C-alpha cells in the first residue's frame, strides 16, 4: 500500500514524462508511427503466454469476488482475442494519418496566407472499466494520432492491463517510441483517479468509458476537459407514408442485431394513421426475435397483450431485447418526444415523404439523424473512420463516432512577407 503523498508525486512525475513524450510524438512522421504500431502488434502475439498468465490472475480474483459470468467473459483473454487485438493495431497502422492534414487554406486581402492544419491534442487520459482490450485499442489510436496516452483501467483487469502496458512499452521503446508515450496507472485506488482528474497541467483531454457512476464522477471532479461516452436512447419514428417491409427490416436490425450497444434501438414511435395495421405485423416479427414490447396507452389498445410502458421507460437505455412503443399524432409529435426523452445519440425517421424527412433531419438535434437506415450504423468503422475510440454524446469538440481526426486539434500556420497591422 502506497501513501497518498508518494502516489501523488509518482503520478505527477508520470504526467511530466507524458508531456515530454507528447512533444516528441507530435512531430513524428507517419511511417515511423506505423512501424512502431506494427512492432507492438507483433510483440503482443509473441508475448501471449505472459499476457494470458496475468489475465488468469484477474480471472481468479474475479471469480473469488463473485463477478458475473458476463463480466468474466468480458475480462477473459484468449489466444484468439489477443490475435484480434494485434490485428486491430495493424489496421490502425494502415489507416491514413489525420495529423498534418490541411483543413483549409486561404489568402487574406493583405496577402497573408493562412492554413488551418491538424495537430495532435497532446496527452490523452483514458479511464475505462473491465475490458482489457481497451488498453491496447485506445493506446493504438492515441499513438497513431500523435498523442501520448495516460491509461487508468478498472481494478478487475489490472494484471491484464499491466501486462499489455508492459509489452507495449518495451516493444515500443525498441521501435523508437518515446519513453512514457504509453503509461498505465498501477494503482486502482480511488485516490489515484482523484489525483489524475486534477492533472490539467499534464493531461489535455479525458475520455471516460464506463457506467453512469464513473462518468458522473469524472465530470464532477475533473479540471481537464472531458468528452463523455454516455448512453444512447435511440428512436425510430415510422411516418404515415412509408415502406412497410423496409420499416420492419430496419426496426428488427436496429433492435436485434446487437441489443447491448449504445446505438441499438430503444423506443419506437409510430404515426397514428398506420399504427393499427403496422403494430400487429411488428409484434409478430419481434416475437420471433424474443423482443418484449412496452407500449404506451394507444399502442396497447392495438396490442392488448403487450406490457404497459411507464414514464421511466421512455428514458431507458435497455441494452436488452426490450422495446418501448408509442403511437404519435405527427412527425412534430415524434420530434417533441425525442427532444424530451432522447439522449441525442442516434434517431431515425422511416418515411417516403421528403418534406417530413427534411423536417425530422432538421429538428432532431442528435449526433446522428437518419432517414431510412438502421441506427446501428453510428460507428466509426461504418462511418468510414476505420476505427473509433468511442462515440461522443457531448457537443464540444466531437459528436458521434470519434476516430483519428477527432483525436486531433488544429493550429493556424500563417505565411507573411513582412505584413504588419
> Where on the chain is the footprint of a copy of itself (CB under 8 A)?
23, 26-27, 106, 108, 112, 114, 119, 121-122, 200, 204-205, 219-220, 223, 225-227, 243, 246, 249-250, 252-254, 257, 339, 361-363, 365-374, 376-378, 382-384, 394-397, 399-400, 409-421
Task: Report, in Å, the least distance between residue 95 CB and a copy of itself.
Answer: 16
Closest to a copy of itself by CB, 83 vs 243, is 243
Buried/exposed 153-179: b ≥16 CB within 10 Å, e otherwise: bbebbbbbbbbbbbbbbebbbebebbe
CB distance 203 to 123 below 8 Å: yes
Task: Report, in Å, the least distance between residue 413 CB and a copy of itself.
Answer: 5
CB distance 21 to 55 below 8 Å: no
Task: Report, in Å, the least distance between residue 414 CB and a copy of itself.
Answer: 5
Closest to a copy of itself by CB, 70 vs 382, is 382
Query: Which DSSP symbol is given to 97?
Result: P
Closest to a copy of itself by CB, 2 vs 319, is 319
Task: Report, in Å, the least distance between residue 269 CB and a copy of itself.
Answer: 18
Closest to a copy of itself by CB, 261 vs 303, is 261
Residue partners of 307: CB distance under 8 A and separation at least 6:
292, 293, 294, 295
Closest to a copy of itself by CB, 91 vs 394, is 394
Task: Report, in Å, the least distance between residue 156 CB and a copy of itself.
Answer: 28
Q: Per-residue DSSP letters for 253-322?
A: HHHHSSTTSTTSEEEEEEEHHHHHHHHHHHHHHHHHTTPEEEE-HHHHHHSTTSEEPPGGGGG----SSE
Residue partners of 364: CB distance under 8 A and separation at least 6:
335, 338, 339, 342, 347
Closest to a copy of itself by CB, 9 vs 397, is 397
| Extended strands (E) in 101-241 | 102-107, 113-120, 123-128, 148-152, 182-184, 205-209, 234-238
Task: Report, in Å, the least distance between residue 376 CB and a copy of itself.
Answer: 5
What the block records as the C-alpha cell of 255 is 433492435
Closest to a copy of itself by CB, 53 vs 107, is 107
Task: Report, in Å, the least distance between residue 314 CB and a copy of itself.
Answer: 18
Amino acid at each position: 500500500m502506497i501513501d497518498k503523498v508518494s502516489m501523488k508525486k509518482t503520478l505527477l512525475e508520470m504526467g511530466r514524462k507524458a508531456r515530454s513524450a507528447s512533444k516528441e510524438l507530435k512531430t513524428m512522421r507517419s511511417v515511423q508511427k506505423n512501424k512502431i504500431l506494427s512492432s507492438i502488434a507483433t510483440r503482443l502475439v509473441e508475448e501471449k503466454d505472459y499476457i494470458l498468465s496475468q489475465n488468469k490472475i484477474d480471472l481468479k480474483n474475479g471469480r473469488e469476488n463473485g463477478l458475473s459470468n458476463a463480466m468474466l467473459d468480458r475480462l477473459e483473454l484468449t489466444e484468439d482475442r489477443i490475435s484480434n487485438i494485434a490485428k486491430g493495431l495493424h489496421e490502425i497502422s494502415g489507416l491514413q494519418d489525420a495529423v498534418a492534414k490541411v483543413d483549409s487554406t486561404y489568402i487574406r486581402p493583405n496577402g497573408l496566407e493562412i492554413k488551418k492544419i491538424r495537430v495532435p491534442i497532446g496527452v490523452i487520459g483514458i479511464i475505462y472499466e473491465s475490458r482489457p482490450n481497451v488498453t491496447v485499442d485506445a493506446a493504438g489510436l492515441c499513438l497513431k494520432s500523435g498523442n501520448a496516452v495516460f491509461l487508468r483501467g478498472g481494478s478487475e483487469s489490472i494484471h491484464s492491463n499491466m501486462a499489455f502496458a508492459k509489452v507495449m512499452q518495451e516493444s515500443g521503446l525498441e521501435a523508437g517510441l518515446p519513453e512514457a508515450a504509453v503509461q498505465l496507472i498501477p494503482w486502482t485506488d480511488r485516490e489515484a483517479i482523484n489525483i489524475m482528474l486534477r492533472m490539467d497541467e499534464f493531461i489535455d483531454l479525458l475520455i471516460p468509458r464506463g457506467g453512469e457512476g464513473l462518468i458522473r464522477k469524472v465530470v464532477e471532479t475533473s479540471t481537464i476537459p472531458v468528452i463523455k461516452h454516455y448512453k444512447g436512447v435511440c428512436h425510430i419514428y415510422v411516418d404515415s407514408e412509408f415502406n412497410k417491409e423496409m420499416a420492419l427490416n430496419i426496426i428488427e436490425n436496429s433492435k436485434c442485431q446487437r441489443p447491448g450497444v449504445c446505438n441499438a434501438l430503444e423506443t419506437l414511435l409510430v404515426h397514428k394513421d398506420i399504427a393499427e395495421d403496422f403494430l400487429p405485423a411488428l409484434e409478430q416479427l419481434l416475437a420471433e426475435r424474443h423482443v418484449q414490447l412496452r407500449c404506451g396507452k394507444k399502442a396497447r389498445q392495438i396490442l392488448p397483450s403487450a406490457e404497459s410502458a411507464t414514464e421511466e421507460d421512455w428514458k431507458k437505455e435497455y441494452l436488452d431485447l426490450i422495446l418501448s412503443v408509442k403511437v404519435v399524432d405527427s412527425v412534430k409529435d415524434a420530434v417533441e418526444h425525442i427532444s424530451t426523452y432522447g439522449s441525442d445519440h442516434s434517431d431515425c425517421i422511416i418515411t417516403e415523404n421528403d418534406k417530413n424527412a427534411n423536417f425530422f433531419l432538421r429538428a432532431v438535434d442528435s449526433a446522428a439523424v437518419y432517414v431510412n437506415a438502421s441506427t446501428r450504423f453510428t460507428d466509426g468503422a461504418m462511418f468510414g473512420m476505420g476505427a473509433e475510440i468511442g462515440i461522443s454524446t457531448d457537443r464540444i469538440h466531437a459528436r458521434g463516432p470519434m476516430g483519428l481526426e477527432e483525436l486531433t486539434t488544429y493550429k493556424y500556420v500563417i505565411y507573411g512577407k513582412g505584413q504588419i497591422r
